[in-house]
Amino acid sequence: MALFTIESEFRYEIVRKVYEGGMGVVYEAEQLGTRNFVKRVAIKVVRQNYTDQQQFIDNFVGEAKLVADLIHTNIVQTYHLGEVRGMFFIAMEFIRGVNLEQFAQQLTDKRRILPKELAVFITSRVARGLSYAHAKTDKDGKPLGIVHRDVSMKNIMIAFEGDVKLTDFGIAKARGFLQDNEGEVVAGKADFMSPEQADFKITDKRSDLFSTGVVLAHLLLGHNIFKGANADESRKRIMTHPIPDFRVLDKRIDDRLNEILQRSLARDLNKRYPSADELLYDLEHYIYHQGYGPTNETLGKFIRELFGQMVPQATTDARGSTQLLERAARIVPKR
CA–CA–CA angle 157, 143, 155 (5° rounding): 15
264 and 246 Cβ atoms separated by less than 8 Å: no
Q: For residue 158, what are the β-bridge partners? A: 98, 164
Catalytic status, residue 317: no
Strand stretches in 109-245, DSSP E: 156-159, 164-166
- Provide CB contacts within 8 A for 321, sequence distance 6+: 17, 20, 25
User: Choosing from 52, 69, 109, 150, which is the catalytic residue?
Assistant: 150
Strand stretches in the chain, DSSP E: 11-20, 24-32, 38-46, 78-84, 87-93, 97-99, 156-159, 164-166, 330-331
- List the alpha helices (DSSP H) in 88-183: 100-109, 116-135
State the sign of the Cα–Cα–Cα–Cα dihedral 205, 210, 211, 217: positive
> How distant is the alpha carbon of residue 128 from its chain centre?
13
144 and 138 Cβ atoms separated by less than 8 Å: yes
Helices and strands (H, E) in the chain, number of each type: 11, 9
222 and 110 Cβ atoms separated by less than 8 Å: no
Active site residues: 150
